[in-house]
Structure 1
Amino acid sequence: MSGQNFRVAADLRVARDVLNTEAAGLLSLAASLGAPFGQAIGRLATATGRLVVSGMGKSGHIGRKIAATLASTGTPALFVHPAEASHGDLGMIVAGDAVLALSNSGETTELADLVAHARRFALPLVAITARPDSALARAADVALILPRAAEACPMGLAPTTSSTMQLALGDAIAVALLTRRGFTAADFRQIHPGGRLGARLRRVRELMHAGEAMPLAEPAMPMSAALVLMTEKRFGCLGVTGADGVLLGIITDGDLRRAMGPDLLSRQVGDIMTLLPRTIGPDALAVEALHVMNAHERPVTTLFVVDAAVRPLGILHVHDLLRAGLA
């Protein structure tokens, strides 16, 4: 093995050891959860204000991410730096708030003023720490104790496994609160309106073309007129409705190719339409529409949007999803 290949192999061994060590820590954390976790969620869920997250050093970096995750999943949250808290930012923490404090050792001196502030105003205080006998654990209403686990650093010093467990436990708290509050995809969209995620959570009714834009015809329409209508509407298809307005079928470019012959223009729409076309409801998510379009061996580029009685309300084209940033 060449020197370069040996180095690459050694790097891969290190990387896998790190990931395996951290994975073992997460499994240990999952197994260690018990009644205190439920108690912590209960206290945090009853807070009428914000969930204030704080931590110093690496715990602070993890805390910022936890606060962001909480805020984006329906739990109003903010991060307060413990050192800045001692110089005026304690004013950001008010009655009705709850506090989530992170410290692996539980003895972070910079947290002292923030913890004292929470105790002074009887704010719910939940701690994440590795030491059940630490000052932070003793001061907290509920202490979530990280299990003993080896750091992935070969010296056993750099916060690696411990910070990974903090991060994962923060995610568990955020998702438990989300579930308890009944936070829905619609709620999620309200605070994620931008980017691809916002597009995935848009409703079909927001993207569809309605009214005169829809290419619709009755079964008795001659194909000579149907082709003109298809060309005018520019969706590459034609919906076929009965006298009661119910969608009976669809004619696509593929149907036209299959029906091609010298008598095509003299035939009626009902003769060549495909029955029971794929449809979707107006309140479905845009991402569901994309799934319906691609769900079969033959993907389609358009969907009619119908009500409960299968009457067309609009039409959706894959280009609408592309413009919305979804497809």
Structure 2
Amino acid sequence: MSTDLNFNFEQSARRTITLEQQAVGQLLQRLSGTFNTACRLILQCQGRVVVTGMGKSGHIGSKLAATLASTGTPAFFVHPGEASHGDMGMIQPTDVVIALSNSGETGEVTSLLPLLKRMGTALISMTGNPASTLAKAADAHLDTGVEQEACPLNLAPTSSTTCALVMGDALAVALLEARGFTAEDFAFSHPGGSLGRRLLLKVDDIMHTGAGIPVVGPEATLSQALLVVTSKGLGMTTVQQDGQLLGIFTDGDLRRAIDQGVDIHTATMADVMTRGGKATRPGTLAAEALKIMEDNKINALVVKDGDQAAGVLTMHDLLRAGVL
């Protein structure tokens, strides 16, 4: 074996990415009714999903189990070699087993088939060979076969493991959507670190309340409203009457008013405010509020409780709280 430091590394990378991209694209042609069967088996499962696989397939299987577990499908990984030496006791008849093997003939995996059949445990296989022992034994087979590995020797699992990874993600996301899994559900599966803080934080935790909410009446002039906007420092004010939220006035409304040539000393909020405006509810996750603001290209959001403004949230508040 000789090393060439002048080798065209970028060309090799482009070839690998192209081959794997093509392999993933071909997965669409292999989707069939068995994918639906696999999803229904998991949704009807009374136990847990047990994922198994050897070597590189095992690494992909471990990731799949983690993805399922974090998106509403209780799952864990069992090494097939360890299963033959005691860990088989971790698998119950009410479980569903997902077995990964590109060849479908991996000895450590196929040796488990008689035991699984004896228990009556449902089996989903993910292989590159629909005619293999593992595929034929499964209640549902997911075809992740590839025409060529990205490895120039066509030996090292590359394109095949990428396809298995993508198929696993497709399975997890389909189940997530079928279960109606929400951002809040996801947050409870990820309580630690910055991701947990970002997902578990609610608008109530960071919004401005009480005297911190800018308020003017509909009869206030534009010049009076600007004084309130400046004093509160949120770049906006709510427009309220008798405690009820009528609308909001933001820097965007100010620009539109100036473009229309209105007199800031005579124009009232009723003339220039945005009636209603975008709002969210108390108890909403801060991440959901961020999406509303991003989708509507706004920098402030009213937290509305019935007809009243319970609070105000700005993009700066989200940035300071680490949600952005």
**TM-score interval w.r.t. the shorter chain?**
0.7 to 0.9
- Counterpart Cα distance in 1 of 2:251 and 2:55: 61
- Counterpart Cα distance in 1 of 2:226 and 2:144: 69
Partner residue, 1:68: 66
Is the 1:238–1:252 contact (alpha carbons within 8 Å) kept by the matching residues of 2? no
Once the two structures are superposed, residues 64-104 of structure 1 have per-residue CA deviations (whole angstroms, 9 ceiling, x without a partner) of 11111111211111111111222222222223211000011
- Cα deviation, residue 59, structure 1: 0.2
Change (3 A) 1:292 1:63: closer
Partner residue, 2:109: 111
Which residue type is aligned with residue 322 of structure 1? L
- Cα deviation, residue 177, structure 1: 1.3
Q: Name the SS of the counterpart of 1:154 in structure 2.
A: coil
- Counterpart Cα distance in 1 of 2:251 and 2:18: 53
Q: Name the SS of the counterpart of 2:20 in structure 1.
A: helix
Which residue type is aligned with residue 208 of structure 2? H
Partner residue, 1:33: 31
Q: Name the SS of the counterpart of 2:92 in structure 1.
A: coil
Aligned residues with identical type, % of pairs: 42
Change (3 A) 1:221 1:30: closer
| 1:190-205 equivalence runs, <5 A | 190-194=188-192, 195-196=194-195, 199=198, 202-205=201-204
Structure 2 unaligned residues grouped into runs of 5+: 259-263
TM-score, structure 1 as length reference: 0.79
- Counterpart Cα distance in 1 of 2:243 and 2:155: 74
Given the alignment, which residue of 152, 166, 169 partners 1:168?
A: 166
Partner residue, 1:214: 213
- Counterpart Cα distance in 2 of 1:55 and 1:253: 56
Is the 2:35–2:142 contact (alpha carbons within 8 Å) kept by the matching residues of 1? yes
Matched, 1:316 2:313: yes
Partner residue, 2:286: 286
Given the alignment, which residue of 40, 43, 47 partners 1:42?
A: 40
Matched, 1:304 2:296: no
Which residue type is aligned with residue 218 of structure 1? G
Change (3 A) 1:282 1:95: same
Q: Name the SS of the counterpart of 1:133 in structure 2.
A: coil
- Counterpart Cα distance in 1 of 2:234 and 2:40: 53
| 1:46-125 equivalence runs, <5 A | 46-125=44-123
TM-score, structure 2 as length reference: 0.80
- Counterpart Cα distance in 2 of 1:254 and 1:46: 53
Is the 1:106–1:134 contact (alpha carbons within 8 Å) kept by the matching residues of 2? yes
Is the 1:99–1:125 contact (alpha carbons within 8 Å) kept by the matching residues of 2? yes
Change (3 A) 1:233 1:269: farther
- Counterpart Cα distance in 2 of 1:57 and 1:73: 25
Partner residue, 2:261: none
Q: Name the SS of the counterpart of 1:246 in structure 2.
A: strand
Matched, 1:150 2:157: no
Please, which moves more after superposition, 201-210 or 311-320? 201-210
Is the 1:293–1:300 contact (alpha carbons within 8 Å) kept by the matching residues of 2? yes
Change (3 A) 1:326 1:20: same
- Counterpart Cα distance in 2 of 1:132 and 1:253: 59
- Counterpart Cα distance in 2 of 1:134 and 1:291: 46
Please, which moves more after superposition, 196-205 or 77-86? 196-205
Once the two structures are superposed, residues 174-198 of structure 1 have per-residue CA deviations (whole angstroms, 9 ceiling, x without a partner) of 1121122222233223323452476
Which residue type is aligned with residue 81 of structure 1? H
Which residue type is aligned with residue 198 of structure 2? A
Change (3 A) 1:281 1:21: same
- Cα deviation, residue 133, structure 1: 2.9
Partner residue, 1:24: 22
Which residue type is aligned with residue 313 of structure 1? A
- Cα deviation, residue 203, structure 1: 4.4
Which residue type is aligned with residue 313 of structure 2? L
Structure 1 unaligned residues grouped into runs of 5+: 259-263
Partner residue, 2:125: 127
Which residue type is aligned with residue 166 of structure 2? A
Partner residue, 1:261: none
Q: Name the SS of the counterpart of 1:60 in structure 2.
A: helix
Is the 2:53–2:100 contact (alpha carbons within 8 Å) kept by the matching residues of 1? yes
Change (3 A) 1:36 1:274: same
- Cα deviation, residue 246, structure 1: 2.7
Q: Figure out how many residues of one structure are paired with residues of the other and give that number.
A: 313
